[in-house]
C-alpha cells in the first residue's frame, strides 16, 4: 500500500472513531478514594452529552480525564481513536469551561478571550477575527473593553465560553458552568449554548446536577451512581423540534425528566447501599 493510501485509510478510520471513548476506565485517587469503576462510554461526533449524577459520583473526574488533566488508574481514554498526543491539530481541538469563569481580573474581556490564541501564536489578524466572532456568538461584542468585575456572573460565564470558542474547538468540555447562576440566567445561557452547538460541528460533554438542564440541552444523558462512580443509564433525548420555552413545558420534556428522576433515585439508593457496606 502506498504512503498516501495508508494516510487516507488512517484518517478515514479516525473520522469513523468516536470523538471520545472511555474504555473500562477506573480511577482510584492516592488517598484511596475509588472515584470511577469500569466506565465504558463512547461519544460520537456532534453529540451533546450530559453527565448527570449525585455529588461525588465522579462526573468531574471523568471530565478531567477527557480533558487530559487526570489519568485513569486502569483502562484507557481515546480521543478520535488516538491517544492524548494526537489532540491539538485543527480537526482535534478541545477546550474546557469550568464552574468558575476563571477570567484574569486585570485584563479586559477581549484580552481574556484572546489569551489562548496568543499562547498558540495565532497571527494577529486571524486572532482579531476569531475574538470578534466569539464575542459576537455569546452576545458580548459591546463589552469587549470592560473588566470582568464590571460584568454580571452570567456575562462573566459568557466571556469564559467565548474564550473557549475562540480556539475553534471540536470538543467542548463543560463542568457545571451555569451551576452558580440564578435560574433565569441559567435558562438563557442554556438556550444560547444549545444554539451555538446546533450551528457548528461541535461535540459537547456537559456536567450538571440538574435534570431539567440535562433534558433541555442534550441529545443524550448519562446517569452515574457513586461509590464507586459508574454509569447506570444512557438515555437518548429524542426531541427533534426546537429546544425553547415551549419545549420546557411539553409532555415529552416532563416525561424525560421523570425517567431521569427515577434513575437518579436509583443512583442515590445504590450509592447509599455501597456506602453502607464500607
Ligand atoms: N484530587 C482528589 N483526590 C482525592 N479524592 C478526590 C479528588 N478529586 C475528587 N475526589 C473524590 O472522588 C470522588 C468523585 O469526585 P468528583 O468531583 O469527580 O465527583 P462529582 O460527581 O463531580 O461531584 P460533584 O457533583 O459534587 O462536583 C469524590 O468522592 C471526591 O471526594
Residue 204 and residue 86 share a domain: yes
The confidence band for 262, taking pLDDT boundaries of 50, 70 and 90, is very high
Whole-number Å distance, alpha carbon 61 to ligand 1 midpoint, is 6
Query: What's the confidence (pLDDT) of residue 180?
Result: 86
Residue 260 and residue 226 share a domain: yes
Query: What's the confidence (pLDDT) of residue 278?
Result: 28
Whole-number Å distance, alpha carbon 137 to ligand 1 midpoint, is 33
**What average pLDDT does the chain have?**
90
Q: Is residue 9 part of a domain?
A: no
Range of 232's domain? 18-93+170-278
Residue 277 and residue 184 share a domain: yes
Whole-number Å distance, alpha carbon 191 to ligand 1 midpoint, is 28
Residue 189 and residue 66 share a domain: yes
For every residue of 175-235, DSSP letters joined together read ESTTTTS-HHHHHHHHHHHHHHHHHSS-EEEEEES-HHHHHHH-SEEEEEETTTBEEEEEE
Tell me how far apart the alpha carbons of residues 261 and 154 are, in angstroms, rounded to a whole number: 27
Atom of ligand 1 nearest to the CA of 61: 18
Tell me how far apart the alpha carbons of residues 26 and 40 are, in angstroms, rounded to a whole number: 10
Whole-number Å distance, alpha carbon 277 to ligand 1 midpoint, is 19
Residue 83 and residue 59 share a domain: yes
- Specify the residue with its C-alpha closest to ligand 1, atom 12: 35
Q: Rounded to two decimals, what is the model's pTM? A: 0.90
Tell me how far apart the alpha carbons of residues 73 and 206 are, in angstroms, rounded to a whole number: 23
Query: What's the confidence (pLDDT) of residue 3?
Result: 52
Taking 80 as the threshold, does the pLDDT of residue 122 lie above it?
yes
Query: What's the confidence (pLDDT) of residue 5?
Result: 56
**Which domain CATH number covers 230?**
3.40.50.300
Beta-strand pair 48-52/220-225: parallel
Among the listed residues 21, 51, 88, the one whose alpha carbon sits nearest the alpha carbon of residue 221: 51
Taking 50 as the threshold, does the pLDDT of residue 276 lie above it?
no
SS3 128: helix
Residue 184 and residue 164 share a domain: no
Q: Is residue 5 part of a domain?
A: no
Tell me how far apart the alpha carbons of residues 68 and 169 are, in angstroms, rounded to a whole number: 15
Whole-number Å distance, alpha carbon 276 to ligand 1 midpoint, is 19
Pocket, ligand 1, Cβ cutoff 6 A: 29, 31, 33, 35, 53, 55-61, 209, 229
Here the ipTM equals 0.98
The stretch 251-265 carries a mean pLDDT of 96
Query: What's the confidence (pLDDT) of residue 91?
Result: 85
Out of 56, 178, 210, 271, give the residue to mutate to test ligand 1, the one with the largest number of ligand atoms within 8 Å of its CB.
56
Please list the alpha-helical segments (H only) found in the chain: 3-16, 59-66, 109-119, 124-137, 153-165, 183-199, 211-217, 245-248, 251-277
Please give the grid coordinates belonging to residue 161.
Answer: 465560553
Residue 184 and residue 273 share a domain: yes
Instruction: Report how many domains make up the chain.
Output: 2
Q: What percent of the chain has pLDDT over 90?
A: 76
Whole-number Å distance, alpha carbon 203 to ligand 1 midpoint, is 24
Tell me how far apart the alpha carbons of residues 35 and 272 are, in angstroms, rounded to a whole number: 15
> CB atoms < 10 A from the CB of 177, how many?
25
Q: What percent of the chain has pLDDT over 70?
A: 92
Whole-number Å distance, alpha carbon 30 to ligand 1 midpoint, is 12
pLDDT tens per residue, range 53-99? 999 999 999 999 999 999 999 999 999 999 998 898 888 999 999 98
Strands of the sheet containing 74-79, edge to edge, are 34-43, 20-28, 74-79
Residue 193 and residue 71 share a domain: yes
On the 0-12 / 13-18 / 19+ scale of CB atoms within 10 A, 251 is exposed
Atom of ligand 1 nearest to the CA of 70: 1
pLDDT tens per residue, range 201-242? 999 999 999 999 999 999 999 999 988 999 999 999 999 888
Out of 28, 51, 54, 60, give the residue to mutate to test ligand 1, the one with the largest number of ligand atoms within 8 Å of its CB.
60
- Specify the residue with its C-alpha closest to ligand 1, atom 25: 55
Amino acid at each position: 500500500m502506498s504512503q498516501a493510501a495508508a494516510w487516507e485509510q488512517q484518517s478515514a478510520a479516525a473520522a469513523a472513531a468516536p470523538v471520545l471513548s472511555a474504555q473500562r476506565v477506573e480511577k482510584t485517587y492516592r488517598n484511596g478514594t475509588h472515584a470511577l469503576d469500569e466506565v465504558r462510554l463512547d461519544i460520537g461526533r456532534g453529540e451533546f452529552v450530559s453527565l448527570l449524577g449525585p455529588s461525588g459520583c465522579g462526573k468531574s473526574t471523568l471530565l478531567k480525564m477527557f480533558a487530559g488533566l487526570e489519568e485513569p488508574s486502569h483502562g484507557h481514554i481515546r480521543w478520535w481513536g488516538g491517544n492524548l498526543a494526537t489532540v491539538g491539530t485543527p480537526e482535534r481541538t478541545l477546550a474546557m469551561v469550568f464552574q468558575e469563569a476563571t477570567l484574569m481580573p486585570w485584563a479586559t474581556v477581549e484580552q481574556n478571550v484572546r489569551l489562548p490564541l496568543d499562547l498558540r501564536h495565532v497571527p494577529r489578524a486571524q486572532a482579531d477575527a476569531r475574538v470578534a466572532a466569539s464575542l459576537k456568538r455569546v452576545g458580548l461584542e459591546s463589552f469587549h473593553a470592560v473588566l470582568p468585575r464590571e460584568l454580571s456572573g452570567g456575562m462573566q460565564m459568557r466571556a469564559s465560553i467565548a474564550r473557549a470558542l475562540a480556539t475553534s474547538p471540536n470538543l467542548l468540555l463543560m463542568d457545571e458552568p451555569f451551576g452558580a447562576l440564578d435560574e433565569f440566567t441559567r435558562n438563557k445561557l442554556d438556550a444560547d449554548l444549545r444554539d451555538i452547538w446546533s450551528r457548528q460541528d461541535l461535540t459537547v460533554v456537559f456536567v450538571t446536577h440538574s435534570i431539567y438542564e440535562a433534558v433541555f440541552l442534550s441529545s443524550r444523558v448519562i446517569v452515574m451512581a457513586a461509590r464507586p462512580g459508574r454509569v447506570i443509564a444512557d438515555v437518548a433525548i429524542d426531541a427533534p423540534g426546537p429546544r425553547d420555552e415551549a419545549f420546557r413545558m411539553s409532555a415529552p420534556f416532563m416525561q424525560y425528566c421523570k425517567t431521569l428522576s427515577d434513575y437518579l433515585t436509583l443512583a442515590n439508593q445504590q450509592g447509599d447501599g455501597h456506602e453502607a457496606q464500607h
